[in-house]
Structure 1
Amino acid sequence: MSSYRDQVSFSFQDGHKRYRWLLASPAERILATVADAALGALAAAPLLWSVYQMRHTPHHFDVWAHVFLASPLMWGGAVLLSAYVLWQALWLAQRGQTLGKRLLGIRIIRDNGHVAGFFHCLMLRTVVFVLLCVIMIGGTLMLLRLDDNFSVYELIWLPYLASFLMLFQTTDDHRTLQDRFAKTVVVREKMRQEA
């Protein structure tokens, strides 16, 4: 019986050689996302705790004094969260990996086999994709005159639900909406060269 890895691969021809990556499984991609969310929550915890503490201080206490003078935890938390976000963005732009993807040995490449880089990995897959989702959902709500009943942020999960379901498709290299939009594929980290 052949395994998932033996059955599913992504390959491209470059001159006289053929290169092949094994596709990341849906489980690996989901676990990488969960790992990124958990690490992000840990990085944000000091800042969130400090903000929570600040919101529950007595009203006679000067909130701005608490922010600027009495809360090294808040500033430390802000620095920690900023460093985490910057680290994730740099790895994504340079390696096609987040920390979660690195832990699971998967990465993002372009559908032509090249390194995804800053534009495809970070800008198209992350920033532009989210902006388009917000604009499309908001525009649809306005056209249907439902913007009084729903906000964009209550429905932003819909494209991500569609992407989650697309992970399990057996065609088109398990590509999600983000992958299709940015012309990327998520593969195992190691590449195989074939004759």
Structure 2
Amino acid sequence: MTDYLSSSSYSSLADDYEVELASPWMRIAAVLINWLIFYLGMILGTLFFGLLAKMLHSALAGKICIILATLVPLLMYFIGQCIMMSTRGQSFGKKLLGIKVIGIDGSNPGFIGTVLLREILPFIVLITIDLLLNLIFYQNIYTALKKPNFISLFFYAICLFMLFRTTTYWRTLEDYLAKTIVIKI
């Protein structure tokens, strides 16, 4: 199903601006590709720094390498994603699939729209709410941190449901927050 969004059907888009929306399956595939790249980076980082720790034969070096095995791939992935999303409106997965995020007015939402509002703000709010609720019920920080995040799961389930609604142009809660849509390029 191809869904076109034009200025006559969506008043917030610029005059005479027509785009083809990315399908829900393309958006899901882009997320899966991003996860795959992230976890592949984590595995390679762990292998590299694990081998380095074995070569150094030091307990302190081993602990430092474990920290680096986590932080280096995480920072590389996060910085790369932030740059790509801010400048192009594309994550690694979106770039591979030929889709991108644009503002509902047709502009590039930049760092604030694509990174802060779509990714970081919902993540921080959900983690905070989950942690506070877990602390209320378990009253122990260690137990609260180990418990599942059901609020986050519920939030992303709603987003997944919204992704298949054609009447809302396949927009999720994050899209509404950042005033964005995802299109084919």
* Separation of aligned partners in 1, 2:67 and 2:124: 29
Contact 2:4 2:18 in 1 (8 A): yes
1:165 positional shift:
1.5
For 2:4, the equivalent position in structure 1 comes to 9
**What TM-score results when the alignment is normalised by the length of structure 1?**
0.74
User: Does the residue aligned with 2:120 lie in a helix, a strand or coil?
Assistant: helix
1:165 aligns with 161
CA distance in 2 between counterparts of 1:49 and 1:158 reads 34
C-alpha RMSD of the superposition: 3.1
Q: Deviations over 1:19-77 (max 9, x none)?
A: 1111110110011111111111111112334677899x8xxx74213345xx6x98588
- What residue number does 1:90 align with? 83
Corresponding residue for 2:38?
Answer: 40
Q: Is the 8 A contact 1:50 1:74 kept in 2?
A: no
- Letter of the 1:184 counterpart: T
Gaps of 5+ in 1: 190-195
Of 118, 126, 133, the match for 1:133: 126
- For 1:111, the equivalent position in structure 2 comes to 104
User: How many percent of aligned residue pairs carry the same amino acid?
Assistant: 25
- Measure the CA separation in 2 of the matches of 1:139 and 1:66: 34
SS of alignment partner, residue 18 of structure 1: coil
The structure with the largest strand share of the pair is 1
> What amino acid is aligned across from residue 36 of structure 1 in structure 2?
N
TM-fit CA distance, 1:121: 0.3
CA distance in 2 between partners of 1:153 and 1:51 (Å): 29
Q: Hey, what's the Cα distance between the residues in 2 that align with 1:117 and 1:51?
A: 34
Matching of residues 43-192 of structure 1 within 5 Å? 43-49=41-47, 62-67=58-63, 79-140=72-133, 145-148=136-139, 154-155=148-149, 156-189=152-185
Q: Is the 8 A contact 1:54 1:63 kept in 2?
A: no
- The CA distance in 2 between the partners of 1:141 and 1:78, in whole Å, is 26
TM-score norm. by structure 2 comes to 0.77
Q: Which runs of 5+ in 2 are unaligned?
A: 8-12
Task: Please say which structure displays the higher CA radius of gyration.
Answer: 1
Higher relative contact order (CA 8 A, sep 6+): 1
Contact 2:89 2:102 in 1 (8 A): yes
Looking at structure 2, the residues matched to 141 and 80 of structure 1 have their Cα atoms a distance apart, in angstroms, of 29
Partners of 2:43 and 2:148 in 1: how far apart? 24
| Alignment check: 8 A CA contact 1:138 1:152 kept | no
Which segment drifts farther, 151-160 or 23-32? 151-160
For residues 133-154 of structure 1, give each alpha carbon's deviation from its aligned partner in whole angstroms, at most 9, with x where no partner exists.
2233445556xx5345865961
How many residue pairs get aligned? The number is: 173
Structure with greater helix percent: 2
After TM superposition, where is structure 1 displaced by more than 6 Å over at least 4 residues in a row?
51-55
